[in-house]
Structure 1
Amino acid sequence: MTDVRGEPSTKLPPRVRLPEVDVPGGTMVTLPGRGATYVTDTPGPTPDAPPIVLLHALTTTGLLTWFPSIPTLAKRFRVITLDQRWHGRGIKSDEFSLRDCADDAVALLDVLGIEKAMFAGFSMGSLVAQRVWRQHPSRVGGLVLCASTDVFQKRPSERLFHNGVDRLVSRIPGFGSPRRAARVHATQVRPADDISRWALSEFRSTSPIAVSKAVGVIGRHHTRPWIHQIDVPTAVVVPLRDRAIPPARQMAMAQRIPGATLHTVDAGHSCCVMDADKFVPVLAQACSEVLARWRDNW
């Protein structure tokens, strides 16, 4: 996003209005043997409130995807976010994989002393959430999969896009500057002072090279052979105007998960932020239904 002089813009387009909510502060947390990542941990209404780990979308950060949802969810849950690998202030590693992202999320549970949690993911985060269940089923109390799918590259255009990006960036070493996020955040304004400038800084903290390489990895996501084995309470939230992942594909995935409930939002793929007034109530309802079923199984 640039201004008329071609310089980076410091403002969002006038038509974009971000939610004015309290954005929690966080801290860097070391995951033993894995690396350090930026974590927020918002207390729930009681000390024993059920924990929910929120997994963010591609190109964003834990807070940028979920800041509109945290105040509402914190009325019932202990709400945890983390920056995933190569994103924001997440772990900097030689390679990026959804499997590693899933292991990171469970490693964070270990550090926080949490035995079991609900996991909610948006887009890329929902793919990671599926893998959390696959790799660590005993640590998952329930799943909320938003803007999700169990397979990519069904259409020729999707194969062309993901494979083309993958080939284009495969020979570029690394993931961009490892100091990028720290440099961006060093000059970041507080959300309370200017939510738009803060959001742009969060967005810019992830390297375009990292995003491009992650696109190739995401294109290989394929959980259809085992997604029917998911045995924890699950809700699927579908943005009905999603142009990134066809809503019909999201609904078909929901039908393959035993007992999954379906929740729809009349909005597009960026609804977690750009249409938060529509998304957050639906997300809260989905999480509440999963929690009720999780508690029934305690």
Structure 2
Amino acid sequence: MNPARRDLTATRAPRVRLPRVDIPAGRLIELPGRGSTYVTDTAGPTADAPAIVLLHALTTTGLLTWFPSIPELSKRFRVITLDLRWHGQGIKSPEFSLRDCADDAVALLDVLGIDEAMFAGFSMGSLVAQRVWRQHPDRAGGLVLCASTDAFQMTATERVFHNGMAGITSRVPGSGSPRRAGRVQASQVDPAVDINRWALNEFRSTSPIAVGKAVGAIGRHHTRPWISQIDVPTAVVVPLRDRAIPPARQIAMARRIPGATVHEVDGGHSCCVIDADKFVPVFAHACSVVRARWRERAES
């Protein structure tokens, strides 16, 4: 996961040209018994357009991971993002777990009055999407897993990284200053005026302490024992120059999911933003494939 953070830090550099798109406004929504989180909800082409919930990557926010993709997806879907726990304006809680994040995403469906949705995730978000299906199989109509894996700590380097981060941050209570996101949002700039400063503010809204502790939790991700049981339409989007999660591991995971389609992107682990011109068309196509299969299954 660390290379992803380095890639996204490149938003400071003038040479990175972020896509110029309309970024939807959002609002804080209370999830009963869980806490509040920042949500965007973009209407699709029709009132009954299928819903897709986009789950973001480590260190980022719902909008920072997905803002380049929202305009294209909204041509076919009702597009929903949320800030996951400890990230941006997400829920602040004593502990971080992917299981809780999955429950939060489904709790948001309850608040929005949505029975079933597609779930798409990038990196950390794809791990949450897997858990959504595992914990709430009746709420996930399909999955799109980008830059994903069904296991970490497969190499000595990964074990040192995840366990080391967990050990270091375990000595620090909480997940960082609870006022951090508020301060960042108070200084927020209009993305239409300066997209790079807006993106950097989104990035800074998640504390390094929260990131370190989340890395430890992510390192315990291991869905290989049951990933072959996924029975909803699934697409796997593989960045071919990913240095955080080896592409071969991503493809091997896809082969363990019955009927999963594989969609390749010529980009690295942050291609959802840094190489959005390459990522968005592939991602949108993968979502359309899953949507078509979801519809066929519903009609059969």
Q: Same fold (TM over 0.5)?
A: yes
- Alignment correspondent of 1:36: 36
- Alignment correspondent of 2:5: none
Cα RMSD over matched residues? Answer: 1.1
Q: Secondary structure at the match of 2:88?
A: coil
- Can you list the C-alpha shifts for 1:211-241, whole angstroms capped at 9, x where unaligned? 0000000000000000000000000000000
Cα displacement (A) at 1:10: 12
CA distance in 2, matches of 1:11, 1:59: 13
- Alignment correspondent of 1:6: none
CA distance in 2, matches of 1:11, 1:244: 18
- Alignment correspondent of 1:195: 195
CA distance in 1, matches of 2:151, 2:144: 17
- The within-5 A match list for 1:102-251 is 102-251=102-251
**Which residue identity is paired with 2:57?**
A
Q: Secondary structure at the match of 1:38?
A: strand
Question: Structure 2 vs 1, CA of residues 187 and 285 (structure 1 numbering), >3 Å: closer, same or farther?
Answer: same
Q: Secondary structure at the match of 1:142?
A: strand
CA distance in 2, matches of 1:65, 1:136: 24
CA distance in 2, matches of 1:154, 1:208: 24
**Which residue identity is paired with 1:252?**
A
CA distance in 2, matches of 1:210, 1:157: 21
- Alignment correspondent of 2:290: 290
- Alignment correspondent of 1:67: 67
CA distance in 2, matches of 1:94, 1:33: 14
Runs ≥4 residues deviating over 3 A = none
TM-score, length-normalised on structure 2?
0.96
| Identity within the alignment, % | 79
CA distance in 1, matches of 2:190, 2:88: 16
Which structure 2 residue ranges, 5 or more long, are not aligned? 1-8
- Alignment correspondent of 2:3: none
CA distance in 1, matches of 2:134, 2:205: 30
- The within-5 A match list for 1:27-106 is 27-106=27-106
Checking the alignment, whether the CA contact within 8 Å between 1:10 and 1:200 is kept in structure 2 is no
CA distance in 2, matches of 1:236, 1:196: 29
Which structure 1 residue ranges, 5 or more long, are not aligned? 1-8
- Alignment correspondent of 1:5: none
Cα displacement (A) at 1:12: 2.0
Checking the alignment, whether the CA contact within 8 Å between 2:56 and 2:124 is kept in structure 1 is yes
Q: Secondary structure at the match of 1:272?
A: coil
- Can you list the C-alpha shifts for 1:126-169, whole angstroms capped at 9, x where unaligned? 00000000000000000000000000000001101111111111
- Can you list the C-alpha shifts for 1:105-141, whole angstroms capped at 9, x where unaligned? 0000000000000000000000000000000000000
